[in-house]
Amino acid sequence: MTDVAQSKQDRITRRQVDKFDARRTELAVATLHTLAELGYARTSLREIAQNSEFSHGVLHYYFADKRDLITEAVRQYEVVCVTKYDEAVANATTSEQLRGEFVGTFFDTLDQDATLHRLWYDLRNQSLFDESFRADVLEIDSHRESMVWRVISRYAELSGGSVAGSPSTVYVTLDGVFQRALLHHLAGDVVTVAQLRAELPDVIDLLVTPQR
């Protein structure tokens, strides 16, 4: 095969791969709310198909199994979440503004997308028992950790201080608050959710050491 023919074949192959990946993304996003409502344990590709506009054959063509579909769906949702927080970081000019926007986004997404967050924690819990999930879960968790670190490190910079812990410690602290708030939100406990929201600014300040 000539170099020109090989180059043409490579371009065709890349387009085919890109088209396949784009379709996977489209299907994952389109079935995300169905996945969130059913959860991991109660789903199969066939059940997902029955609750969506897509046939079982279509889903099976693009995804090996429900693990493949669910992890892709959660990955795509996390991209949207990261964008929201990165916009807050980019737009903030004071530490108070950034902290306020972070707290607002933190609890707004809890209220608007509770079932989607529940799906993420369901997936993360499954990875404790099913090794096939772990690489994907660790990758998504790493993106979430980096997102939180960008917010808190920028907050520290704007306030003239420094972050008091490692990226992992900062992430685990805020993720713990979020998971607890999610549980109480799902339980209809608005008092505890409101209390956590009111306390979150102080938690953020505990993560930053003031300038001396």
- Per residue in 15-63, pLDDT tens? 666 788 888 888 887 788 788 787 777 778 888 888 778 888 888 889 8
Q: Is 160 left (phi over 0), alpha (psi -120 to 50) or beta?
A: left
Q: In CATH, what number does 3-209 get?
A: 1.10.357.10
- Per residue in 113-146, pLDDT tens? 898 898 889 889 989 998 888 998 999 899 999 9
Domain boundaries, the chain: 3-209
Could you give the angle at the alpha carbon of 174 between the alpha carbons of 168 and 177, nearest 5°?
Answer: 140
Q: What is the pTM of this model?
A: 0.81
Task: Check: CB of residue 101 under 8 Å from CB of residue 53.
Answer: no
Structure token pair of residue 96 = 């108070």
